[in-house]
């Protein structure tokens, strides 16, 4: 990481902040604000402290390494599309027909030898300093507490290395880790993830599970940790493929797990499958808190480090954040891996304000009736793609998927209730909106056909339409119509929610000639003129099976749910910055934001 810091000074416009700053809220808030700005920069905090615990740490904190697309590309040392091309070639590799073809394949085969990690029994640079079990103290590490209501400090960029019970499979996953005390960490590997599958094996066998966590080293390690590699494939293979050189691994001191030799900090330990601890709450990348839930706990055996380690961390919360840029690389690189199951897929796009699993757009070469539906089922059935709640497919003649306005126009001109599929499937463990955890509604929109014929029968101005609605229900407070030039204008209304929105939708049916698509959100914390955050809110807040009505117009209830909606779980709050912290950082000139910025990104409640 020290090399990375030097490299970032030269290549990444690194910002260095030497003022002593608190790991609780102050450092995370600065990083959070920075990554939302245009041309955001990585930041090195050289003097982290913990005011409440009276600690001055002796290592710096590096944040926002993936601060923008340009830097992300530089970290890969190539454009993610070129990594994708390499993978595509590999997947299409055929046995050579003759001598010439065999010769042509030689460079590709030689490059493949870089893929496999090299294991060494010698000590690595990450083991220069060894802290024995009795001296282990997680308070020596500048672990951040990001949000006021977080259940404690969390390691947010931990590379979690695990292996299957028989030692045959090794895995690297990026999971957050809650610090409980001096030597215990919560293992937030969600039920669908590889480390959780390994954990099940140890639990059944009644054996303790070894875990080694690494922090730092080549930034590509952490990207590999979040990459949705198929079960059973060690992420370090992907590392070797991208870097064009083998990952160099060394053995942990107290277990058999191998980790990269050049990481900065290594935390080794065991998870007792009998013990669970309450994990969370934690302000997550959905922009909501994930609620308290029991998760396995790791007891630490030893911590090793480099002589001068750098602590790496990230902040998650409302988009856009660092995971936008990590996710962009992932999206590009995994395109060829989706093609074997969906060969006519041309491209796909996961807009950052859909926080990845809440919205995906796919462009395809449509060949037959039901083709888009076939894709929906394929996506909802494979690996982590199956977490996607809302999928929209367009034909090959559609504009660029990332051209937000043009693609929305294209979709709205083809939106037809007959071509909407609402079904059920597995959902991300973080989803807060389904009536039960892990299973929820799925929405698939087939917008691959020609434009629909009929548009809005009788369009009205916003003011007139609002008045008509208010005559029917006084809780409708504001109204704005978007994309009125398309066949399916969106009518967005803001309500003071006192009842189930199904009642309001039923009342508004008489206005059917004036409405094609109705979207409802709460008054609290939503701005009618902020479509970026409205998309974020609505795709986060709906369970398609419960919250979408297709007749006589399409109605989407994007409000927070309560018992009135038949919702009996706890509805989590948004991640908000702490006002006093923002004010104090602003006074000290450490951030420079105004009311407009605060509202635009939902930094504070309103």
Residue numbers at the binding site for ligand FMN (CB under 6 A): 171, 173-176, 188-190, 193-195, 225-228, 285, 314, 316, 323, 326, 384
Query: Which residues neighbour 99 within 8 Å (Cβ) at sequence distance 6 or greater?
Result: none
- 554: Cα separation from own chain's centroid: 28
User: How far is residue 13's CA from residue 491's CA, in Å, rounded to a whole number?
Assistant: 43
- Supply the minimum distance, in Å, between the C-beta of residue 602 and ligand FMN: 19
In whole angstroms, the minimum distance from the beta carbon of 200 to ligand FMN comes to 13
Nearest-approach distance from CB 337 to ligand FMN, in angstroms: 13
Residue closer to ligand FMN by CB (options 355, 520) is 355
> Which DSSP symbol is given to 542?
-
Least distance from C-beta 185 to ligand FMN, angstroms?
12
Q: Where are the alpha helices (DSSP H) in 92-154?
A: 99-112
How many CB atoms neighbour CB 459 within 10 A? Answer: 15
The least distance separating ligand FMN from the CB of residue 531, rounded to whole angstroms, comes to 25
Please give the structure tokens belonging to residue 306.
Answer: 């480099």
Of 230, 538, 156, the residue nearest 385 (C-alpha): 230
Residues 6+ apart with CB under 8 A from 339: 88, 91, 345
Those residues with Cβ within 8 angstroms of residue 547's Cβ, 6 or more apart along the chain or in another chain: 433, 441, 501, 541, 556, 557, 558, 561
Tell me how far apart the alpha carbons of residues 81 and 403 are, in angstroms, rounded to a whole number: 18
Shortest Å, Cβ 362 to ligand FMN = 20
Residue 171 or 366 with smaller CB distance to ligand FMN: 171
* Cβ distance to ligand FMN smaller for residue 289 or 410: 289
**What phi-psi label fits residue 217: left (phi over 0), alpha (psi between -120 and 50 degrees) or beta?**
left
CA–CA distance, 264 with 270 (Å, rounded to integer): 20
Tokens matching residue 239: 């590392």
Smallest gap from residue 519 Cβ to ligand FMN (A): 28
Q: How far is the CB of 156 from ligand FMN (least distance, A)?
A: 6
CB of 157 to ligand FMN, least distance (A): 7
By beta-carbon proximity to ligand FMN, the closer residue of 285 and 363 is 285
Identify the helix (H) or strand (E) that includes residue 270.
strand 265-279
The C-alpha angle with vertex 421 and arms to 452 and 491, in degrees rounded to 5, equals 55
Q: Which is nearer to ligand FMN, 278 or 528 (CB)?
A: 278
Select the residue whose beta carbon is closest to ligand FMN and give its number.
193
Q: Are 178 and 152 in contact (CB under 8 A)?
A: yes
Nearer to ligand FMN, 163 or 171 (CB): 171
User: Residue 233 CB, nearest distance to ligand FMN (Å)?
Assistant: 9
Min. distance of Cβ 84 from ligand FMN in angstroms?
17
192 close to 426: Cβ distance less than 8 angstroms: yes
Q: Which is nearer to ligand FMN, 227 or 333 (CB)?
A: 227
Query: Residues 414, 453: contact at Cβ < 8 Å?
Result: no
Rounded to an integer, what is the distance from CA 224 to the centroid of its chain?
14
Looking at the Cβ atoms of 124 and 225, the one nearer to ligand FMN is 225
What's the N-to-C CA distance of the chain in angstroms? 40
Based on CB atoms, which residue is closest to ligand FMN, 26 or 428? 428
From the CB of residue 524, how many other CB atoms can be counted at a distance below 10 Å? 13
Smallest distance, ligand FMN to C-beta of residue 35, A: 12
Helices 322-338 and 69-76 pack at an angle, to 10 degrees, of: 60
Tell me the backbone φ, ψ of residue 553, rounded to 5 degrees.
-135, 170
d(CA 34, CA 41): 7
Q: Which is nearer to ligand FMN, 157 or 345 (CB)?
A: 157
At residue 527, φ and ψ (nearest 5 deg) are: -115, 130
* DSSP structure class, residue 501: H
CB of 355 to ligand FMN, least distance (A): 11
For residue 471, is the peptide bond before it cis, meaning its omega torsion is within 30 degrees of 0? no
Indicate the residue among 203 and 384 with the shorter CB distance to ligand FMN. Answer: 384
CB nearer to ligand FMN: give 194 or 547.
Answer: 194
Nearer to ligand FMN, 37 or 384 (CB): 384
Compute the C-alpha angle 226/173/437, nearest 5°. Answer: 85
């Amino acid at each position: 990481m020290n090399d990375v810091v030097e490299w970032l000074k030269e290549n990444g416009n690194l910002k260095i902040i030497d003022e002593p700053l608190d790991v609780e809220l102050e450092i995370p808030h600065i990083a959070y604000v920075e990554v939302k700005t245009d041309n955001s920069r990585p930041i090195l905090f050289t003097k982290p402290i913990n005011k409440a615990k009276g600690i001055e740490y002796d290592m710096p904190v590096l944040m926002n390494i993936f601060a923008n697309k340009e830097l992300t590309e530089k970290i890969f040392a190539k454009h993610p599309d070129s990594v994708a091309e390499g993978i595509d070639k590999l997947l299409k590799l055929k046995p050579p027909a003759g001598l010439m073809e065999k010769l042509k394949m030689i460079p590709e085969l030689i490059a493949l030898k870089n893929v496999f990690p090299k294991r060494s029994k010698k000590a690595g640079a990450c083991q220069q300093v060894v802290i024995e079990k009795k001296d282990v103290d997680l308070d020596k590490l500048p672990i951040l507490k990001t949000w006021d209501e977080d259940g404690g400090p969390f390691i947010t960029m931990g590379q979690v290395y695990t292996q299957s019970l028989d030692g045959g499979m090794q895995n690297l996953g990026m999971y957050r880790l809650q610090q409980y005390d001096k030597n215990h960490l919560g293992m937030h590997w969600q039920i669908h993830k590889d480390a959780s599958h390994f954990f099940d094996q140890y639990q059944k066998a009644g054996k303790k599970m070894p875990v080694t966590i690494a922090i730092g080293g080549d930034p590509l390690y952490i990207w590999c940790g979040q990459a949705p590699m198929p079960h059973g494939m060690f992420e370090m293979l992907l590392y070797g493929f991208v870097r064009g050189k083998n990952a160099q691994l060394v053995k942990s001191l107290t277990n058999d797990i191998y980790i990269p030799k050049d990481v900065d900090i290594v935390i080794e330990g065991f998870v007792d499958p009998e013990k669970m601890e309450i994990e969370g709450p934690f302000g997550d990348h959905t922009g909501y808190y994930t609620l308290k839930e029991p998760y396995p706990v790791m007891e630490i055996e030893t911590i090793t480090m480099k002589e001068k380690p750098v602590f790496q961390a990230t902040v998650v919360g409302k988009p856009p954040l660092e995971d936008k840029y990590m996710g962009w690389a992932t999206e590009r690189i995994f395109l060829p891996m989706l093609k074997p199951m969906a060969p006519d897929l041309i491209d796909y796009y996961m807009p950052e304000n859909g926080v990845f699993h809440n919205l995906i757009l796919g462009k395809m070469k449509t060949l037959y009736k039901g083709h888009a539906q076939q894709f929906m089922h394929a996506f909802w059935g494979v690996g982590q793609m199956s977490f996607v709640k809302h999928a929209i497919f367009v034909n090959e003649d559609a504009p660029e998927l990332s051209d937000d306005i043009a693609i929305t126009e294209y979709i709205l001109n083809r939106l037809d209730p007959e071509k909407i599929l609402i079904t059920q499937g597995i959902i991300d463990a973080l989803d807060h909106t389904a009536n039960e955890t892990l299973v929820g509604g799925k929405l698939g929109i087939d917008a691959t056909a020609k434009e629909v014929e009929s548009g809005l029968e009788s369009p009205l101005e916003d003011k007139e339409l609002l008045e008509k609605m208010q005559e029917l229900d006084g809780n409708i407070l504001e109204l704005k119509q978007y994309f009125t030039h398309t066949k399916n204008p969106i009518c967005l209304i803001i309500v003071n929610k006192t009842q189930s929105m199904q009642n309001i939708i039923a009342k508004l049916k008489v206005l059917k000639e004036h409405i094609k698509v109705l979207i409802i959100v709460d008054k609290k914390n939503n701005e009618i003129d902020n479509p970026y955050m409205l998309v974020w809110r609505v795709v986060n807040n709906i369970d398609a099976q419960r919250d979408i009505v297709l007749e006589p117009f399409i109605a989407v209830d994007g409000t927070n749910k309560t018992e009135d909606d038949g919702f009996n779980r706890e509805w989590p709050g948004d991640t908000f910055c702490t006002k006093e912290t923002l004010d104090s950082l602003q006074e000290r000139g450490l951030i420079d934001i105004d009311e407009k910025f605060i509202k635009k990104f939902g930094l504070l409640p309103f």
